[in-house]
Chains A and B, each alone.
Chain A
């Protein structure tokens, strides 16, 4: 342990406390994952299935994809599960992660106020849907938090050849659940992953207005933090959990997760 003089006393107290609090959790790893997998309840479901046959404790930190990848890059977690293919490719290329594996997917959908002022319902492509929202200057809640969902949404606008500058475009800067509630309160459209939508829709004054565009597929990958960059990461334990996620047991647990009878995520490991 390195001591810094200024922090000496406080740090040693902190170390003492941390030793005390760590005694009960000899074997534990940390996974940074997205609010979409945690707020929907999937992670709790998977961890209780995992816990039945394993002693390894998995601690979950749920943040946006951008922040999750940053935590992994800094070595503050042992593994990461996110849904932003472009950012993940960059993360892997720079050598921050190893053993990227496809785990599951769901899809994004557009939801909006029941009155549907921009008449998005009935359009078939997300391009057309977003165009209508912008043309009608309807309210649209963007996550604005560099999460996987936010990255995806920005890509879609870019694909339109338009930057979302209409005055109804609002950035919440919060997680998917908060953003959906904000959309519900403000009578706004928003793009959400299907999982969070299914988990929350009964509490929202919103309806699904567009789905099933192939462009809206939302794949999740799990990656281990590269031990060559951060020797302290528990790579073996992290691999054990990642392997479980993609083996038949984990994949079955993903497939069996249901809210009100609807599957939220589809297993996708080969």
Chain B
């Protein structure tokens, strides 16, 4: 117990001291996951919208496929991407293996199905009259889409928070296609894996605290926004 407390307090001290290596690693995690989310967001929302509002042959197959992709382990995404990006693979000429962009691509693949599935259910739960009203008022499809996005913004925000949580906490793909290179592709999770291998639990705990704090802040603010909006709506 004493040992545990000692590790925990040293971890807090290391974070507080502003250790540049530690915060550099945190920076890699944030820039990679934020880029992945940013790139995946709009395409994923569009796919979710199309699946929610248009009927076409094979629609159910696409939805089943996306739902299955939700269950794919991160290491499998990493392995497939590794084989594609390796010099011996079909995309080797892009020279992306062991770089941040490779990690970003991996995380895009991981968060895309999640964003589609969650936005699909958000769109489906939305009141269909919103879209119809927008159309009757002369909105073009794009304006109708934007109106609907605004209507379901909290559900979408929840999708974004969940997706961000999934990719910033994943280690399988980041380790395989990033290679855990210091100052380049070492992020929070791969660093934790490495440091615990070296018996250096302090840095692992410090980085774990960052991840936990992040999850707390994101979810608490989301919860606050949702309840706040309900109060507003009930007030009017």
Query: B196 touching A14 by the CB < 8 A rule?
Result: no
Contacting A at CB under 8 A, from B80-106, are 86-102, 104-105
User: B76 an interface residue at 8 Å Cβ cutoff?
Assistant: no
Q: Given known contacts A4-B91, A203-B199, is B179 in contact with A14 (CB within 8 Å)?
A: no
* Complex: chain B residue closest to A17, CB-CB: B101
Closest residue to A7 on the B side, CB-wise?
B91
Contact B180 A14 (CB under 8 A): no
- Evaluate contact between A10 and B198: CB separation under 8 angstroms: no
Q: Which of these, A7, A18, A181, A203, contacts B95 with CB under 8 Å? A: A18
In the assembled complex, which residues on chain A have CB atoms less than 8 Å from the CB atom of B179?
30, 59, 61
Q: Is A228 positioned at the interface, with any CB of B under 8 Å from its CB? A: no
Interface centre among A13, A15, A60 (most CB of B within 10 A): A13
Chain A contact-residue range equals: 35 or more
Point out the residue from A2, A21, A59, A181 that lies within 8 Å of B93, measured CB to CB. A2
Q: Give CA–CA (A63, B91) in the complex, Å.
A: 23
Q: How far is the CB of A19 from chain B (nearest CB, A)?
A: 9
B182 touching A11 by the CB < 8 A rule? no
Whether A21 contacts B100 by the Cβ 8 Å rule is yes
Say which residue of A18, A178, A200 sits within 8 Å of B96 (CB atoms). Answer: A18
Within the assembled complex, what's the spacing in Å between the Cα atoms of A73 and B92?
13
B109 nearest CB neighbor, chain A only: A10
Give the interface centre of A2, A14, A176 by most chain B CB atoms within 10 Å: A14
Return the chain B residue nearest A184 by Cβ: B199
Contact A39 B35 (CB under 8 A): no
Smallest CB gap from A176: residue in B: B197
What is the minimal beta-carbon distance from A7 to any residue of chain B, in angstroms?
7
Asked if residues A76 and B100 are in contact (CB atoms below 8 Å), the reply is: no
Contact partner of B104 (CB less than 8 A), chosen from A1, A14, A30, is A14
CA A172 to CA B73, docked complex, whole Å: 20
Whether the Cβ atoms of B180 and A61 lie closer than 8 Å is yes
Summarize B's interface: helix, strand, loop or mixed: loop
Q: Are A21 and B91 interface neighbours, CB within 8 A?
A: no
Neighbouring A residues of B104 by C-beta, 8 Å: 14, 17
User: Which partner residue on chain A sits nearest B32 by CB separation?
Assistant: A17
B108 touches A10 (CB 8 A): yes
Instruction: Tell me whether A18 and B197 are in contact (CB under 8 A).
Output: no
Q: Are the CB atoms of B93 and A17 closer together than 8 Å?
A: no
Which of A39, A60, A73 sits near B198, CB closer than 8 Å?
Answer: A39
**Considering the chains assembled together, what is the distance between the CA atoms of A204 and B93 in angstroms?**
45
Per-position binary interface string of chain A over residues 157-181, scored 1 when its CB falls under 8 Å from any chain B CB and 0 otherwise = 0000000000000000011111011
Residues of the B chain whose Cβ atoms lie less than 8 Å from the Cβ of A200: 198-199
> Provided the pairs A76-B86, A232-B95 are in contact, do residues A177 and B180 lie with their beta carbons within 8 angstroms?
no
Known interface pairs A1-B93, A60-B181, A181-B199. Does A21 touch B87 (Cβ–Cβ under 8 Å)? Answer: no
CB neighbours of B59 from chain A (8 A): none
Q: Scoring A residues 113 to 151 as 1 if CB is less than 8 Å from chain B, else 0, what string do you get?
A: 000000000000000000000000000000000000000
Decide yes or no whether A212 CB sits under 8 A from chain B. Answer: no
Most buried by A among B35, B86, B87, B194: B87
A10-B105, A232-B95 are known contacts. Are A178 and B196 too (CB-CB below 8 A)?
yes
| A239 contacts across to B, CB distance below 8 A | none
Question: Beyond A1-B94, A10-B105, A74-B86, is A39–B182 a contact (Cβ under 8 Å)?
Answer: no
A-B contact pairs, 13 of them (CB 8 A): A10-B39, A14-B94, A59-B182, A60-B181, A61-B98, A74-B89, A75-B87, A76-B97, A76-B98, A177-B196, A177-B197, A178-B196, A204-B199
Which residues of A approach B to under 8 Å, CB–CB? 1-2, 4, 7, 10-11, 13-15, 17-18, 21-22, 25, 30, 35, 39, 59-62, 73-76, 174-178, 180-181, 199-200, 203-204, 230, 232
Cβ-closest 3 pairs across A and B: A75-B87, A177-B197, A74-B88
Task: Please report B residues at the A interface, Cβ cutoff 8 Å.
Answer: 35, 39, 86-102, 104-105, 108, 179-182, 184, 194, 196-199
* Extra A-B contacts (11), CB below 8 Å, given A10-B108, A180-B199: A1-B94, A14-B101, A14-B102, A30-B179, A61-B181, A73-B88, A74-B87, A178-B197, A181-B196, A200-B199, A232-B95
